[in-house]
Amino acid sequence: MARIHPDGWRQLPASGALARELETLATLAQGLPDDHTVYHGVHWTRVNRDHAVFGEIDFIIAGPSGRLLLIEQKSGFLDETPEGLVKTYTKTKKNVSAQMARSADHLRERLGAFLKGHAPRLDVLLYCPDYVVRQPGSAGIDPARIVDATRRPHLVSIVQSLLRDEVRDRMVLDNIERFLVDQLELVPEVNAIVGQAEALYTRLAGGLAEWARRIEMTPFRLRVTGTAGSGKTQLALAVFRDALAAGRRPLYVCYNRPLADHIALIAPPGGEIATFHQLCDRVLRAHGQVPDFTQPDAFARLEEAFRALDPGAAWRFDELIVDEGQDFREEWRDTLLRLLRPEGRAWWLEDPLQNLYGRPPVDLPGWVRITSGRNYRSPTDIVGALNRMLPLAEPLEAGSPLAASEVEFFVWKDGAQLVEETKRAMTRAIGLGFRREMIATVTFRGREHSLFTPYDRLGAHRLKAFTGRYDLLGNPVYSDGDFLIDSVYRFKGQAAPCVIFTEIDFETLDELTVRKLFVGATRASMKLILVLSERAAAQLTAALDE
């Protein structure tokens, strides 16, 4: 089997032209021997993304002697014109032979300069798997270097024949991979695959939402204990939608304000969405009681007033969804359940590993319980790293087929270096192809104690941080930046394609530290970068090396 670079292509769902190119890549990988290497541009581009890695070339194959073959694939129909083969796109037409010649000349020039004048041996091949070239002699390309639909089964053997060479070019063999990987900076074309990764996660994690909603009981009391990325939020939203569709009134309650704000944005209108304390405040105000948040024990007073109040019929619901149940106090349970109508249904969603406040589990006698220990959100590499680094009671199960997402470490020894390493991590994330809105910088410390709280920018990066204020509509106010930064406490329950988990520092891997590391790391759906102190890095990397 041929070596394929870059890896990770098998895990990506695809359709249309992308699927056809992935089929070709699979054929080359399976058919060519292991002394051949295939470099592909199927879903990978340069960091600066001004053009594809290989211009108009889809594959570069390096043979055992150092000879290179450039393959341009044209799926679908072609036009045979007096000027040669032409591919028609939505708004343009392109001459295939001219494209291939330009790309080959460009690569030959750049590679020659890289090899300090040593001439690379380069050949080209046109692969059109869906079209039969009727007049190969007038196509503008050597007929021996056209593989059309009639020769499609022989693609691998033709590739091998064009790469056969008795003269081994050690200069090319030693430097071709360095040139194509380092010089061209192959990285995933994140903009193209983030949507696919999110769709894949939604489809896989949707299993929990599917079978949990098929459970029937009277009264309906279901406790769902699921790990990060298992699909609890999808379940909560599905239950919320089901209730509205059936004419029932749903209430969604969580602990963290950012999660409640997020759910309010993506849930359909109707019902009620709030944190527990927001709910207390709304009910009290509806009854003419205005809480005084200037008191030092304001939240305890708020809870007590809510508990003592009869909320009335206006605050009765048919469906109660408690999210982040591991953060709730036991006395809140009965306070919430009294809001259910007699035939109301209750759901309790929790993950003990995300209990960052050290609260004992809420007792739910008589409730049916289901568990899900599989993380569908984070790539298998991240899940595997967490299993090796953290002393988890039960290993986290990897449910995502995405891989090739190695966890990266940036190490600091003091506050100044922490800032510099975090800036470097941000630059690294952008260099990997992630847009700023795809990146979340999460601090290990809370907002009140974080070194980054006073900062409005880090180098060239303007920070989008919670200011601690809310507007007249109750929405959180963020600073005017384009690089989100938030604490692990506030970002719990949310996710981002790329997570930079910074300010990590601890003496020992105690229970709270393990939970914070787990929560922060599992926010990443594609890439995780850890910015750690020297002592923290020493402990985690030692565990990885065992």
Q: What is the CATH number of the domain that holds 339?
A: 3.40.50.300
Nearest to 496 by CA among 226, 198, 257, 254: 198
Same domain, 138 and 78: yes
| Confidence (pLDDT) at 234 | 86
Residue 455 lies in a domain: yes
Residue 197 lies in a domain: no
Residue 145 lies in a domain: yes
Nearest to 530 by CA among 500, 490, 494, 488: 500
| Structural domain count, the chain | 3
Alpha-carbon 88 to chain mean position: 34
| Confidence (pLDDT) at 543 | 74
Residue 199 lies in a domain: no
Same domain, 385 and 523: yes
Residue where one domain finishes, among candidates 375, 404, 421 = 375
Same domain, 300 and 257: yes
Residue 492 lies in a domain: yes
| Confidence (pLDDT) at 180 | 67
Structural domain harbouring 482: 380-545
Same domain, 178 and 213: no
The Cα 132–Cα 371 span in angstroms is 55
Token couple for 425 = 């991590």
Helices 16-31, 155-163: inter-axial angle, 10-degree rounding: 60
Residue where one domain finishes, among candidates 153, 188, 223 = 188
Same domain, 85 and 108: yes
Same domain, 423 and 314: no
Same domain, 168 and 76: yes
Rounded to 5 degrees, φ, ψ at 463 are: -90, 135
Residue with tokens 């593989």: 147
Residue 196 lies in a domain: no
Residue 200 lies in a domain: no
Same domain, 369 and 413: no
Same domain, 40 and 82: yes
The Cα 271–Cα 287 span in angstroms is 19
Same domain, 367 and 499: no
| Confidence (pLDDT) at 96 | 86
The Cα 543–Cα 546 span in angstroms is 5
Sign of torsion, CA 98 104 107 108? negative
pLDDT truncated to tens, each residue of the chain (546 aa)?
888 876 656 655 555 566 788 888 889 999 999 889 888 764 444 333 333 344 456 888 888 888 889 998 888 888 888 888 888 876 678 888 888 888 788 778 777 777 776 777 888 999 999 899 988 877 788 888 999 999 999 999 999 999 887 667 666 677 777 776 554 444 444 444 455 555 554 555 557 878 888 899 999 999 999 998 888 988 999 999 999 999 999 999 999 998 998 898 889 899 999 999 999 999 999 999 988 888 888 889 999 999 999 999 999 999 999 999 999 999 999 999 999 999 999 999 999 999 999 999 999 999 999 998 888 888 888 999 999 999 998 888 887 766 656 899 999 999 999 999 999 999 998 888 788 888 999 999 998 899 999 999 998 899 999 888 877 666 678 888 889 999 999 998 888 989 999 999 999 999 999 999 999 999 998 899 999 999 999 999 887 766
Residue 68 lies in a domain: yes
255 in Cβ contact with 327 (< 8 Å): yes
Residue where one domain finishes, among candidates 129, 157, 188 = 188
Same domain, 370 and 418: no
Same domain, 213 and 240: yes
The Cα 414–Cα 503 span in angstroms is 10
